[in-house]
Chain A
């Protein structure tokens, strides 16, 4: 199975901060990588697909990038509504696998 190693597991951040979350894939997944935001008691929400593409309706302060087997989600100028848990998902190979999640909290 492809392992998605996500870091950090949690971050305490301030409004206006630039935040970067990373997932490292244990095998080649190309750009079959998506990012999700989950609020408490809610379903995950697709934020980024194809590693770098912003889902419709997602604020432009969110972006995705790739460097080799490292995939990053960046939030420029964090807003209070951006708190929650972020997950990556690889859907290149069965079984699809998620990262363990990054919990984003305000200081």
Chain B
């Protein structure tokens, strides 16, 4: 069955770079768009961006200058990297898979990221 799981560092210092891996199973990354969504105390749920089945990306301009999404199809992994972290970036980061009928039907369990010195 379809599964997604995020792994992240937990704690990141301000100004540093966040790296999160989303490992998927039950489907191919070359067939679906993979989304990144975060949930912060200050702004609630925010769509960050996605990587298309063909490998191109789309970013929320809110993050565009510091966000990068990539993947390794051989490992069934999608990566989020975001630099210049601030305390306001503290929150839960999710990867999700969209479905053709619309909406994000599959989500990982989320990984909590705390930005603090």
The reply to whether B103 and A43 contact each other, CB–CB distance below 8 Å, is no
- B-chain residues with CB within 8 Å of residue A95 when the two chains form the complex: 47, 60-62
- B-chain residues with CB within 8 Å of residue A36 when the two chains form the complex: 104
Alpha-carbon distance A1/B60, docked complex (angstroms): 10
Q: Does A84 contact B (CB under 8 A)?
A: no
How many A-B pairs fall under 8 Å by CB?
58
Residue of B nearest to A34 (CB): B103
Task: Determine which of A42, A89, A101 lies in contact with B103 in the assembled complex, contact meaning CB atoms within 8 Å.
Answer: A89
Please give the number of chain A residues whose Cβ is less than 8 angstroms from any Cβ of chain B in the complex.
24
Smallest CB–CB gap between B28 and chain A, Å?
21
- A-chain residues with CB within 8 Å of residue B61 when the two chains form the complex: 95
- List residues of A whose CB falls within 8 A of some B CB: 31-32, 34, 36, 42-46, 48-50, 53, 55, 87, 89, 91, 94-98, 100-101
- Nearest 7 pairs of A and B residues by beta carbon: A34-B103, A43-B107, A49-B103, A95-B60, A96-B47, A98-B45, A49-B102
Further pairs besides A49-B101, A87-B44: 15, Cβ < 8 Å? A31-B102, A32-B102, A34-B104, A44-B94, A49-B99, A50-B101, A53-B101, A53-B102, A89-B103, A91-B102, A95-B47, A95-B60, A96-B47, A96-B60, A97-B47
